[in-house]
Structure 1
Amino acid sequence: MNENKYDIIIIGAGAQAISFLAGICSYIKKNDNHYNLKIGIIDKKENFGCGRVYNHDFPWILMNTPATDLSIDKNNRFEFYEWIKKTIDPSILLENNYDFVPRNVFGLYLKDKYIDFKNQLYNKGIILEDIIDYAKDISIDKNEKVDILLESKNNIKTNYVVFATGPSNSDDYYNLKICKNYIHNPLPANQKLINIPKDANVGIIGSNLTAIDVAVTLKHLGHTGNIFMASRNGKLPEVKGKYLKSYPPHNAQYLNFKKLSEHKKDSLSLKDLIRYIRKDLALHGYHWRNFFFEKNSKPESFEDFKCRVEEAQTSPTPFNIVLGIIPEIAKTWRLVSQDQIDLFMSNYYRQVHQKHGAIPLVNAEKILKLMETGQLLLKGNLTDVNFKNQQFNLNFKNQESLKCDFVINATGPKKTICQNVPKLPFTTLCASGNVNETHIGGIIIDINTGKILTKNGFYQNKLRAIGHNAEGSHPFINNFAWILETSFEVAESLFCEVINAKRTDGT
């Protein structure tokens, strides 16, 4: 293939890639220029537009974010909601719920937007080519061109690469992949969970968002056996209730943090963030430390969770406070020093993420019912899982052990890229020092441009990362609005650079 066939290659064709394309389309609308560019986008055929996460699945696998917060159009937050009303048969929606819709509905919306963006780009002289394949390895040659080896054995060259893949599969913490009846990745549930015998005892490792989807799916499939949900902390996610409403913070605002940074003439620390956050929590009657880091934290009981669900059914919940603060902190990370981001990711991310990750009330009610009937048992202090005599043993700190016929992994995504065995397609890039990440995982980037930090301390101009790939600099990247905002910034920055380079070359 010709060396300059592609100006940009995007790896991944899901929500993060579509957000990047939305950013380019937003930029080219500002003028009447005609561009002579070629962009390639690499992914499996079934994932184009929707990615793996939002592909076809059961209708009860819901988005955990309201439809009004999922528009790909930054200037119209209701675009997705209006698209649902116009396009989707109400019978597809669970209980006629237009707020929390099935994930595959969001996938259909993204596919629609992909086609729309493809046409917009074509009308401006930009070819967007689907490359139905898988990127196996990437390197940068002596001429500063990026060489991509595909699973098909083909090689393609490009001037720039944008990593836009979604969250990676989680680690196999207990070395269970070789065991019969172990399911490492439960999604899509309509393929992975459909053949579990209804009377089997099932262990779910994890108690956050994916674990909820697994338990809800087993319920809908008519499962009658025991379900053991086991994790280190034994806590269920926050609940998005009937009175879901963002409480805008009075103090913890990006503009206030920006002024503080300018006054200090330096980056912010975690203590700087806490000073403002604790004031807002105090206004609502909470002490910041107890709010995020409970003393004598213990696994959640049925009664504790019942109280939280009843609160979500009848009144505003503390999650409304988090809903207001998190977007402001997400924007503020660009003002925080990298060593403080590393500290946050190492010591505090898990507790804060527990507050940030929340489930719709409809799912919380289903989990509560499973607990009330005794079919679902929530357990904390998980220490080990092993497989002996054709059964799994879930082992806990108190020497208790539970036996299961099946185990389903529902822990969080893997963050590391280069550590231990490098994640594909980063093998050569890691070996050559072209990728730097935090010690617990997450690529470090320049937030404004998406350029990846190298081991030598400079930003690699040819490589950009957005979304989950950039978690080393964006700790709250699971927030779609923040994925959209940062993808727009990176898209505009890179697009301008490509255009300027072409003008310089006279092409």
Structure 2
Amino acid sequence: MPHTTTPASHQQGGLISVLGAKDLGCYARRVNVIKGRGPRSERVRSERVIAVVGAGASGILTTTQLITQAAALSRDYKLRIQLFDHTGELATGPAYGTPHECHILNMRAATMSMYADRPDHFLNWLDSRIPQGNRPASGDAYIPRVQYGAYLREQLHTAVEDAHRHDIEVEFVTARVTDCLPGAGKALVQCGDVVYSCDAAVLCSGDLPGKGLPQLAGSPAYLPSAWQYDDIAGIPSTASVAVIGSSLTAVDVIVLLDALGHQGDIHCFSRLRSLPKVQEAAPTPWKSQYVTEERIEELTGGGARQATLTEVAGLFRQEIELATGAPLDWDAALRSARRPVAETLPEDIRNAAEGRNRWYAALDATGHLAPHLWNRMDDAAKEVFLAKHASLWAMYRHSMPLPNAEKLWRLVRAGQLHAHTGLRAAVAHGGRHTLTCVEDGREREFGADYVVNATGASPDITELDDPLIGNLRQAGRLRPHRHGGVDVDFGTGRLIGLDGTASTPVYFVGPLTRGVHFYTNSVETLRTNSTATARSVLRGLG
């Protein structure tokens, strides 16, 4: 039977550095990595405990917000924050755990600050950490993601330093959380046979790969996740590789293969559309005139009714036409999704380099409103959008950085990279893989030595091979959202159970709230959600 323990500053595993004492020596002294502990006999009467599960970007942002907001409160209790992660590392998830410099941020450095009130914070950090000759020329640069991971870790280190001065203790617990149980108004965080009693828990699971392509699961040359960096590096340089998916995740795979000196053919397959469009090189900031919070509230009567897809599309049409100074050609946009990449990519690169794709600046300016707008749309609108338009939207809205586009174009020119739409089937037989597409009305088959699934995280949580999500779902303490991910309260992130209530003090921050908040992978959205959740958690502590 699992035994329940209350937090303790002592532990049997001793004090272990998260990143090595040479990197964060002071941090290692302040943040405990707990391998195992015995029960504490008596809990400090005036103590409150918050568990944060997951030490990726979502967990770091949430922990930092909890510290910052708690430090500003007048509290009559001591606060302890326990940050759980089974890896014993920080910021090593799919986004920022890559060791490869070729994996750059998909957003410009100027947009990546952890702090809404200090938009230049990341740029200033770069200036203080990178030697003069290697610093980005401007905020329009795309920085290697490994550097952003270091930024996240250092900001947590700084927050922990501040926590110590405000009677807030932070522990880093190296353990896999397998369940989160209700208990007399508390959250019981279960790690194997040990249960930690907490006043509130914030689950910060990042992107989790789904089952992918089960028909290929038995093939030793099938990689079910694009985040298997070591396995991708182990692909023979002359092998032919099929990349399933055409999103920014697929671009990451192709760029990595290129950086590793891959010489074999690379075929990129998707069902509906080709590779992402290309971001404007140095966009002039755009101030939205139509897709604004005021217009959304006016359209919906302040939330009295919900917007239809036609109404929302109308706002975006007006915004894009104003930004580009030309009528929006929907038919051309649809055709572009299936045009050969050898035609579209050089055209997109030219437009980006010359600043002629102002539609991107217009779309980018609406990013902070995406969750709010999604919340104001009716369910029918959301279902039609996800079924018929989400792929095309992602192609334009989540465009690739110009440096990556130029790398892909070099591979296309060399005859090494090929992109195909109309994917119908993928099978493995006799050590080879066959992929079938329907292009221009004709069925075609392609062979590949290796297949990499780059479709990214699954929106269907029933497909996730994660014990925490699985146990919560099976017990009815977590409800799958009809539009993907987990169901939470929009404003607080509080987890909603199968009975439609949020009866346990358990919250969720991260990509898996996509059904509620729509696009949840951006730092901007994670920053907003972690701030709101931290506020709600602390308010609930009294």
Q: TM-score, normalised by structure 1?
A: 0.90
Per-residue deviation, residues 251-288 of structure 1 (Å, max 9, x unmatched): 11012212333357334343442332222223235666
> Which moved further from structure 2: 266-275 or 103-112?
266-275
Task: Tell me if the contact between 1:242 and 1:316 (Cα under 8 Å) persists in the aligned partners.
Answer: no
Task: Tell me if the contact between 1:22 and 1:72 (Cα under 8 Å) persists in the aligned partners.
Answer: no
**Which of 404, 411, 415 does residue 363 from structure 1 map onto?**
404
* 1:279 counterpart residue number: 318
Q: Distance in 2 between the 1:27 and 1:97 partners?
A: 28
* 1:41 counterpart residue number: 83
* 2:212 counterpart residue number: 172
**Which of 383, 393, 410 does residue 424 from structure 2 map onto?**
383
Aligned AA (1:101): I
Aligned AA (2:497): T
Residue 71, structure 1, aligned to residue 113, structure 2: yes
> Which moved further from structure 2: 463-472 or 37-46?
37-46
Residue 58, structure 1, aligned to residue 89, structure 2: no
Task: Tell me if the contact between 1:138 and 1:427 (Cα under 8 Å) persists in the aligned partners.
Answer: no
Q: Distance in 1 between the 2:137 and 2:325 partners?
A: 36
Change (3 A) 1:264 1:170: closer
Per-residue deviation, residues 397-433 of structure 1 (Å, max 9, x unmatched): 233111111111111211222x367742023321232
**Which of 344, 349, 355 does residue 315 from structure 1 map onto?**
355
> Which moved further from structure 2: 280-289 or 68-77?
280-289
Q: Distance in 2 between the 1:452 and 1:293 partners?
A: 38
Q: Distance in 1 between the 2:248 and 2:354 partners?
A: 23
Q: Distance in 2 between the 1:354 and 1:53 partners?
A: 19
Deviation at 1:61, TM superposition (A): 0.8
Aligned AA (1:403): G
Identical residues among aligned pairs (%)? 20
Per-residue deviation, residues 322-373 of structure 1 (Å, max 9, x unmatched): 1123323333334344564455444433332222212111110010110011
Q: What SS does the corresponding residue of 1:456 show, helix, strand or coil? A: coil
> Which moved further from structure 2: 428-437 or 465-474?
428-437
**Which of 184, 188, 199 does residue 159 from structure 1 map onto?**
199
Deviation at 1:192, TM superposition (A): 2.4
**Which of 489, 505, 515 does residue 446 from structure 1 map onto?**
489
Q: Distance in 2 between the 1:467 and 1:93 partners?
A: 30
Task: Tell me if the contact between 2:270 and 2:421 (Cα under 8 Å) persists in the aligned partners.
Answer: yes
* 2:35 counterpart residue number: none
Task: Tell me if the contact between 1:205 and 1:408 (Cα under 8 Å) persists in the aligned partners.
Answer: yes
Q: Distance in 2 between the 1:272 and 1:374 partners?
A: 43
* 1:505 counterpart residue number: none
* 2:460 counterpart residue number: 416
Q: Distance in 1 between the 2:321 and 2:201 partners?
A: 45
Aligned AA (2:275): L
* 2:221 counterpart residue number: 181
Per-residue deviation, residues 221-247 of structure 1 (Å, max 9, x unmatched): 221111111111241112123232342
Deviation at 1:292, TM superposition (A): 9.7
Change (3 A) 1:210 1:90: farther
Residue 259, structure 1, aligned to residue 303, structure 2: no
Aligned AA (1:469): L
Q: What SS does the corresponding residue of 1:248 show, helix, strand or coil? A: coil
Task: Tell me if the contact between 2:371 and 2:516 (Cα under 8 Å) persists in the aligned partners.
Answer: no
Residue 434, structure 1, aligned to residue 474, structure 2: no
Task: Tell me if the contact between 1:174 and 1:385 (Cα under 8 Å) persists in the aligned partners.
Answer: no
Aligned AA (2:177): A
Q: Distance in 2 between the 1:64 and 1:292 partners?
A: 25
Q: Distance in 1 between the 2:539 and 2:431 partners?
A: 59
Q: Distance in 1 between the 2:138 and 2:317 partners?
A: 39
Q: Distance in 2 between the 1:97 and 1:75 partners?
A: 17
Aligned AA (1:253): T
Residue 335, structure 1, aligned to residue 379, structure 2: no
Q: Distance in 2 between the 1:442 and 1:36 partners?
A: 34
Q: Distance in 2 between the 1:331 and 1:170 partners?
A: 27
Deviation at 1:446, TM superposition (A): 1.2
Change (3 A) 1:297 1:79: closer
Q: How many residues align?
A: 495
**Which of 390, 397, 403 does residue 447 from structure 2 map onto?**
403
Q: Where do 1:91-102 residues align within 5 Å?
A: 99-102=141-144
Q: What SS does the corresponding residue of 1:378 show, helix, strand or coil? A: strand
Q: Distance in 2 between the 1:351 and 1:234 partners?
A: 7
Deviation at 1:205, TM superposition (A): 0.8
Q: What SS does the corresponding residue of 1:175 show, helix, strand or coil? A: helix
Task: Tell me if the contact between 2:114 and 2:523 (Cα under 8 Å) persists in the aligned partners.
Answer: no
Q: What SS does the corresponding residue of 1:473 show, helix, strand or coil? A: helix
Q: Distance in 2 between the 1:183 and 1:93 partners?
A: 35
* 1:457 counterpart residue number: 500
Aligned AA (1:446): D
Task: Tell me if the contact between 1:434 and 1:460 (Cα under 8 Å) persists in the aligned partners.
Answer: no
Q: Where do 1:344-363 residues align within 5 Å?
A: 344-363=385-404
Aligned AA (1:371): V
Task: Tell me if the contact between 1:422 and 1:430 (Cα under 8 Å) persists in the aligned partners.
Answer: no
Per-residue deviation, residues 122-178 of structure 1 (Å, max 9, x unmatched): 22212111011111223324x243333325x43222232211121111432243232
Per-residue deviation, residues 162-217 of structure 1 (Å, max 9, x unmatched): 1112111143224323211111223253x222221111111111121111111112
Task: Tell me if the contact between 1:444 and 1:470 (Cα under 8 Å) persists in the aligned partners.
Answer: yes
Q: What SS does the corresponding residue of 1:106 show, helix, strand or coil? A: helix
Aligned AA (1:358): S
Q: Where do 1:140-151 residues align within 5 Å?
A: 140-141=182-183, 143-151=184-192
Aligned AA (1:149): Q
**Which of 293, 300, 305 does residue 345 from structure 2 map onto?**
305
* 1:218 counterpart residue number: 257
Q: Distance in 1 between the 2:478 and 2:88 partners?
A: 29
Q: Distance in 1 between the 2:231 and 2:376 partners?
A: 42
> Which moved further from structure 2: 165-174 or 7-16?
165-174
Deviation at 1:437, TM superposition (A): 2.3
Q: Distance in 2 between the 1:440 and 1:333 partners?
A: 11
Q: Distance in 2 between the 1:3 and 1:106 partners?
A: 35
Change (3 A) 1:24 1:138: closer
Q: Distance in 2 between the 1:460 and 1:112 partners?
A: 35
Q: What SS does the corresponding residue of 2:151 show, helix, strand or coil? A: helix
Q: What SS does the corresponding residue of 2:278 show, helix, strand or coil? A: strand
Residue 237, structure 1, aligned to residue 237, structure 2: no
Q: TM-score, normalised by structure 2?
A: 0.84
> Which moved further from structure 2: 383-392 or 433-442?
433-442
Task: Tell me if the contact between 2:244 and 2:454 (Cα under 8 Å) persists in the aligned partners.
Answer: yes
* 1:504 counterpart residue number: none
Q: Distance in 2 between the 1:375 and 1:33 partners?
A: 62
Deviation at 1:459, TM superposition (A): 2.5
* 2:25 counterpart residue number: none
**Which of 49, 66, 80 does residue 24 from structure 1 map onto?**
66
Change (3 A) 1:95 1:188: farther
Residue 471, structure 1, aligned to residue 514, structure 2: yes
Task: Tell me if the contact between 1:338 and 1:473 (Cα under 8 Å) persists in the aligned partners.
Answer: no
* 1:488 counterpart residue number: 531
Change (3 A) 1:389 1:264: closer
Question: What CA RMSD, in Å, does the superposition of the two structures yield over aligned residues?
Answer: 2.7
